[in-house]
Structure 1
Amino acid sequence: MNARIFIDGEAGTTGLGIAARLADHPGVERVSLPPDERKDPAAKKALLASVDIMILCLPDDAARESVAMAAALGDKGPRILDASTAHRVAPGWTYGFPELAKDQPEAIRTARLVSNPGCYATGAIALLRPLVDAGLARPDHPFAINAVSGYSGGGKQMIADYEGGGGPAFEIYGLGLEHKHVAEIQRYGRLERRPIFVPSVGDFARGMLVCAPLFLDDLPGKPKGADLDAALAAHYAGSKFVKMAPAEAAGKIEPQSLNGSNVLELRVFANEARRHAILVAKLDNLGKGASGAALQNLELMLGR
């Protein structure tokens, strides 16, 4: 029997991406409400009672409302995969980053409530968590993270601005230092100290780079760049989607080569003479950073 899937918020960027990935997907039946019933609470409640998994692609407040409606159904309610920011550090929710730890895929597979990670957070946690777990970075280390994303991650208005020719070539934002992804970076990166996070957007549709500069002599044991590379490689050994890649000899990297995939590439650029290193994660902000990760989590929730 096919699993019945409802995407709540299917008209948004992430919802459209998930719907496209589910098109002709074996073993899945995607259901939705007719347009004239989408604001009818009774119709939505009836639909929720008939589906196996609800995927939320909504603003945070609307996501919380949908979760409350599903919870009111008790055991008749669907399992939930939330792609909003609303529940990423909420009690009772399982974080949907399968590569976080060895037991994370099983935790996702059995969870009723799964939160899909943020795009920036995916790159940052992928770089930092293995170093903390391996003792190569202290949990109280003063990390600074810089990142750039394609404009497709900024929502409908930003997309319209750029595609209408009104977006800047490059823009740093979030300078109030309260970006919504920081909480999950700190929680799932196992960081005791809140990192400084500086996001930015460029004049390209999709693609992302997340960078963490390090003074090697400030890390426990004063490791070499090769030690950081080895720790990351060991953590992701056998991973289907998270891959180590060699640092480009030219000393530069572009953000778009993984677009359309669910792959996340990690690199360590190191200068041993200066004792400096920069960790870099590359991903598609709409792939492993959004709808690709959602499909990966959905497959686990379906026991595949």
Structure 2
Amino acid sequence: MFNVFIDGREGTTGLQIYERLQRRNDINLITLSEEKRKDVNARKECLNEADISFLCLPDAAARESVSLISNPAARVIDASTAHRTAEGWVYGLPEISAGRRALIAASKRVSNPGCHATGFITLVAPLVKGGIIGSDYPLTAHSVTGYSGGGKKMIAEYETAGRDIALDSPRQYSLSLSHKHLPEMVKECDLSHAPIFNPIVADFYCGMCVTVPLYKNLLLKSLCPDDIREYFAKYYASHNFIKVAQKDELPAYLAANELAGTNYLKIYVCGNDDMILLCSVFDNLGKGASGAAVQNMNIMLGLDETYSLI
């Protein structure tokens, strides 16, 4: 039996992790009463008692939680952006490189990837590693997400009667081109500069589609969409949660909520003789948040990574 504490259980990600774990018979969930959930001493006791703690908190609060841990055996999975590029932390995307799963398994500090970053990195990192694009390629990415990615406040805005009519339309945000997921995108893909990243929130609860367009004549290797599709299929062949769509699976319309409610991510490679379009579709609350966190926990505890996720 493993002791697990969720610091910030009341948020969207925390609640989903709790729901995923409460049905398991190998997990003892350490909980705090409503009146004690912000009590520093009570949280400190839980953080040091747990085998693994999930931090589902704003960045500053996540850093505070880490500072409260004195037990050298205590392990942490941080769902905030606070430690995603920090020294001493392993970035929790096990599929992205040959040795990453082993690093996660051995680590006491794992940072859970951002949702937009997950979609971008799974598309771009393999191409840089394979010498298909250079680290200085002028990348652009678009990402359409369901409104649950904005947390409880945004969910309430979308689901309240008489809401603002603007919510009926897809809305672009982070117009300053300084989205908080950019640092992890750059680091994990070994890029020399940040991509132009255009996130969009739309009127559906959960799901995400991240799209990266490429010019064929700017690739370092002369490859067509079929070649890149085959490359991705080989790259991710041994991984449980990343699938690559075959050419005959390409739909007329690609739905961002296709994999809602799952921990899967599906890659589509489209395009023509001159341009290539890469798309990753997944659940922003699944592989983009709580599902990924539970997958990392399973790996850290030496369990089947798919446990309670399939």
TM-score, normalised via structure 1 length: 0.95
- Tell me how far apart the structure 2 counterparts of residues 5 and 254 of structure 1 sit (CA, whole Å): 35
Report the equivalent of 2:169.
169
Distance 1:39 1:252, change over 3 A: closer
- Tell me how far apart the structure 2 counterparts of residues 87 and 249 of structure 1 sit (CA, whole Å): 37
Would you say 1:87 and 2:83 are equivalent positions? Answer: yes
- Tell me how far apart the structure 1 counterparts of residues 148 and 35 of structure 2 sit (CA, whole Å): 28
- Tell me how far apart the structure 2 counterparts of residues 193 and 38 of structure 1 sit (CA, whole Å): 40
Query: 1:192-207 maps to which residues of 2 (within 5 A)?
Result: 192-207=192-207
- Tell me how far apart the structure 2 counterparts of residues 43 and 254 of structure 1 sit (CA, whole Å): 44
* RMSD between superposed Cα atoms in Å: 1.2
Q: Deviations over 1:114-144 (max 9, x none)?
A: 0000001000000011111111111110100
TM-score, normalised via structure 2 length: 0.93
C-alpha contact 1:5 1:31 (8 A) present in aligned 2: yes
Report the equivalent of 1:188.
188
Query: 1:31-46 maps to which residues of 2 (within 5 A)?
Result: 31-46=30-45
Q: Deviations over 1:151-205 (max 9, x none)?
A: 0001222111111133242100111011001111111012122111000011000
The alignment partner of 2:68 has SS state of helix
Deviation at 1:229, TM superposition (A): 1.0
Would you say 1:75 and 2:72 are equivalent positions? Answer: yes
Moved over 4 A (4+): 247-250
- Tell me how far apart the structure 2 counterparts of residues 151 and 202 of structure 1 sit (CA, whole Å): 6
Report the equivalent of 1:267.
268
C-alpha contact 1:217 1:223 (8 A) present in aligned 2: no
Greater shift in the superposed pair: 53-62 or 20-29: 20-29
Q: Deviations over 1:73-118 (max 9, x none)?
A: 1425x20000011110111100000101111111001100000000
- Point out where structure 2 has 5 or more consecutive residues left out of the alignment: 304-310
Q: How many residues align?
A: 298
The alignment partner of 1:49 has SS state of helix
Letter in 2 for 1:288: K
Percentage of identical aligned residues: 44
- Tell me how far apart the structure 1 counterparts of residues 192 and 234 of structure 2 sit (CA, whole Å): 23
Report the equivalent of 1:143.
139
Greater shift in the superposed pair: 257-266 or 47-56: 47-56
- Tell me how far apart the structure 2 counterparts of residues 267 and 202 of structure 1 sit (CA, whole Å): 21
Q: Deviations over 1:217-276 (max 9, x none)?
A: 11112311112112211110121000001355554211112111000000100212xx11
Greater shift in the superposed pair: 34-43 or 220-229: 34-43
- Tell me how far apart the structure 1 counterparts of residues 45 and 254 of structure 2 sit (CA, whole Å): 49
C-alpha contact 2:229 2:246 (8 A) present in aligned 1: no
Report the equivalent of 2:156.
160
